Amino acid sequence: MSNTNNIIILVARILLAFMFIFAGFGKLTDPSSTAGMIAGAGMPAATLLTYLAGAFEFVTGVCVLIGFQIRVVGWLLAVFCVFTGIVFHLPTVNVPDFPAAANGWINGLNFVNFLKNVTLAGAYVMLATNGPGVYSLDARRGAYAAA
């Protein structure tokens, strides 16, 4: 694999890591809004699940950033993206006392988030199957052989 391709993989990993590091940190430092969404989806122990999701997102985001255990982490994040997309972004939202147009707008944005999650799942599957590139911790420790 060319050096240019490895640099592109590194840039892609940085971009893919950013969202989960940022989102995980936010859940860990202020769980209230995510806990509300989890409770609204009918799931129990919303605050605990928020902290668990935050820790998962933050740790896996850092793993993607540094290129550690990418084959496992990529699959975990792909499943996580599909799961959260289906559970939290696919259902119709109806906020009581909101005008129909506002609920329609919210549902449109929610569907875009579902599509984002599915798209990200594809990127994480690609990362899991192709590896982290030579600029990674996996490559340094011999757990990744460049093609």
Domain presence at residue 145: no
Residue 145 pLDDT more than 60?
yes
69-95 residue pLDDT tens: 999 999 999 999 999 999 988 888 777
Neighbouring CB atoms inside 10 A of 77's CB total: 27
Return the amino acid letter for 58: F
Name the CA radius of gyration of the chain, rounded. Answer: 17
Domain range for 60 = 3-140
Looking at residue 2, what is its pLDDT?
Answer: 85
**Closest alpha carbon to 62 in 47, 77, 83:** 77
The 10 Å CB-count burial string (b at 16+, else e) for 125-138 is bebbeebbbbbbbb
Does residue 147 belong to any structural domain of this protein?
no
Structural domains in the chain (count): 1
